[in-house]
Amino acid sequence: MSPLVPDWVISLMFVIEAIGWLTAYILIVKLGFQQKTYGMPIIALCGNIAWEFFYSVGVFPACSVSWEGCPPWLMRGGNAGAFVLDILILYTIFRYGRSKFSQPFVVKYFYAIVIFGLLTALGLVYFVETEFYRPNPGIPGYGDFMPIGLFSGVYTGYGMALEMGLLFIAMFFSRKGLEGQSFYIALGMAVGNFTAYLLNVFTGTANTTVHVLYASGAIINWAYVVLVYQRAKTMGLNPWKHF
């Protein structure tokens, strides 16, 4: 199955996607240590760690089977970089997260709850990727239906992107200022998701489900960008200079 555009264009989309997401992750880590907080919702972090672990170590192919010219080293390298940053974000959650809650049950069992979330996410991502199937788009050597894990996690990836968007907005409204957040974090996530979507369109892996998931997530992503920008201005900060 040939991609709709040259391989270098698709690779460029992935590089831009990686720059957007890795920039967001780096700033989340930076602000987490600077402000003694965590900048990624805990549930979102659990899903990210699971997804990026499986696709960086090769449990599932980093390259979609529909893209013959895909450079595996590039795709796995980007996922591996994100996974390392996820671990640092997880550290900020373990170090500073407990103090952000007041409910006695959550405070008492905070670490167990986070670990439970991580294990749940690992199980869900793995079994969704292996036990759910989609029609074969015409790739020789496979049956009529293929495990969705062979398509670089487009369903789980966009599902979690939509979830993340909602959780970031919930976190935004739960905090008075911009604790753990910045305009560039919001922008990096929005740009990263947009270029990831273009990559899937160009490789023929973006079906109706992906279109709906991305469109919904994009609205939420860009709403978050606007919300963070406006709050920074209200606080007397220049969004373009606040990292």
pLDDT over threshold 70, residue 1: no
pLDDT digits (tens, 9 = 90+) for 115-153: 999 999 999 999 999 999 999 888 888 889 999 999 999
Place of tokens 């109706």: 208
Interior angle at CA 206, CA 133 and CA 79, nearest 5: 85
Q: Which amino acid is at 105?
A: F
Alpha carbons within 13 A on the beta-carbon side of 217: 27
- For residues 93-112, average pLDDT: 96
Name residues whose C-beta falls within 8 Å of residue 235's C-beta, 6 or more positions apart in sequence: 177, 178
What's this model's pTM, rounded to 2 decimal places?
0.94
Task: Identify the pLDDT of residue 3.
Answer: 66
121 touches 86 (CB < 8 A): no
- Contact between 4 and 204 under an 8 Å Cβ cutoff? The reply is yes
**CB distance 82 to 62 below 8 Å:** no
Could you identify the residue written with the tokens 């390298």? 77
Query: What is the C-alpha separation between 61 and 154, in angstroms, rounded?
Result: 12
Query: Phi/psi of residue 87, each to 5°?
Result: -65, -40
Average pLDDT over residues 178-187: 97
E-only strand ranges, 10-94: none
Q: Give the residue among 181, 172, 154 at the shortest CA–CA distance from 64.
A: 154
Cβ atoms < 10 Å from Cβ of 230: 12
Instruction: Using pLDDT thresholds of 50, 70 and 90, give the confidence band for residue 204.
Output: confident
Per the listing, tokens 């990263």 go with: 192
Domain limits, the chain: 7-234
Which residue type sits at 54? F
Q: How far apart are CA 210 and CA 200, in angstroms?
A: 9
